[in-house]
Chain A
Amino acid sequence: MPPLTRWHLRTALLCLVLGLTATLLNALPAVASAWFALALAPIGIHLLVMGWATQMIFGVAHWMFPRAGKDRTFGSAWLGWTAFWGLNVGLLLRVVGEPLAASGRPVALLLAGSALLQLGAVLAFALTTWRRVRAA
């Protein structure tokens, strides 16, 4: 399994645990009145959908999709690692920024940064994977 895949899959598993933890906390009555309570739902959903499911897809696609080009590589290494770091740093910024936003603190730069990093990650993945989607 290539290194990028291993990083994606292990991080996806961590996000699965963190996402389910967030959704569990969200369900506890004792947490409902906490200052960060409103942030738990979007954090949980995005850790599960982006951090777990989409990242798992990124990792397995990088490994399994037909290799393109004469040298039959896994695609652009820098685009692949951009996708990894953009997705995960973006999610981390969101996990920090959402509770701060819920408590009324100014977090425009933090959340915009998170948004751009995740969008950049998705674009990088789409660009490097596009060529590997080929007719048999």
Chain B
Amino acid sequence: MLRAALLHLVAGAAIGALMLSAKGIRALAGALALLPAHQELLLVGWMVQLVLGVGFWILPRLPGRAREADARSAALVALLLNLGVLAAAVGDVATWNAITVAGRAAELLAVLLFLRIAWPRVRRYGMAV
């Protein structure tokens, strides 16, 4: 997830660089239409994903089978979040609302799944597993 977040950062920043340049170079004016993709890639693909990835790493681990189930769920979170970001970005730019909605739904599902995994791992000091 952290490497995917880095890729979203680079892609989002590249779109942003194009858009900023377009403010001074008229030939690039069409790039301003990519704003929704720029926002999606950076806010969700980079920042939200980075936080989720670090959360999976840093939060106290659960033992045994719970840990294995967590690892499988983490893979599903990564898949749903990244597909969701790409779908929402494409849908927003192309104004295909159905794709945008599907993308956002996938992102929400990913976050809800993360919540289910992370909640029991948020524990006070000395708390028994």
Contacts and interface: CB of A to CB of B under 8 A. Distances in A.
Interface of A: 49, 53-54, 57, 94, 97-98, 101, 106-112, 114-116, 118-119, 122-123, 125-126, 129-130, 133, 136
Contacts of B13: 118-119, 122-123
Nearest to B24: A108
A126 B43 CA distance: 17
Contacts of B24: 97, 101, 106-112
A124 to B, nearest CB: 10
B113 interface: no
B46 to A, nearest CB: 8
29 contacts: A49-B42, A53-B47, A54-B9, A54-B46, A54-B47, A57-B47, A94-B20, A97-B24, A101-B23, A106-B24, A109-B24, A111-B21, A111-B24, A112-B24, A114-B20, A115-B20, A115-B21, A116-B17, A118-B16, A118-B17, A119-B13, A119-B17, A122-B13, A123-B13, A125-B6, A126-B7, A130-B6, A133-B6, A136-B57
A79 B123 CA distance: 37
A125 B5 CA distance: 12
B93 interface: no
Contacts, number: 62
Interface in B21-58: 21, 23-25, 42-43, 46-47, 50, 57
B35 to A, nearest CB: 10
Q: Which 9 A-B pairs have the closest CB atoms?
A: A108-B24, A115-B17, A115-B20, A122-B13, A119-B17, A111-B24, A133-B2, A126-B6, A112-B21
B10 A126 contact: yes
A4 B14 CA distance: 24
B14 A119 contact: yes
A133 B17 contact: no
A129 B10 CA distance: 12
Nearest to A57: B50
A33 to B, nearest CB: 21
A125 to B, nearest CB: 8
Given A115-B16, A118-B16, A133-B6, 20 more contacts: A54-B9, A94-B20, A101-B23, A107-B23, A108-B21, A108-B25, A111-B23, A111-B24, A115-B20, A115-B21, A118-B13, A118-B17, A123-B10, A123-B13, A125-B9, A126-B7, A126-B10, A129-B6, A133-B3, A136-B57
A108 B29 CA distance: 12
Nearest to A126: B6
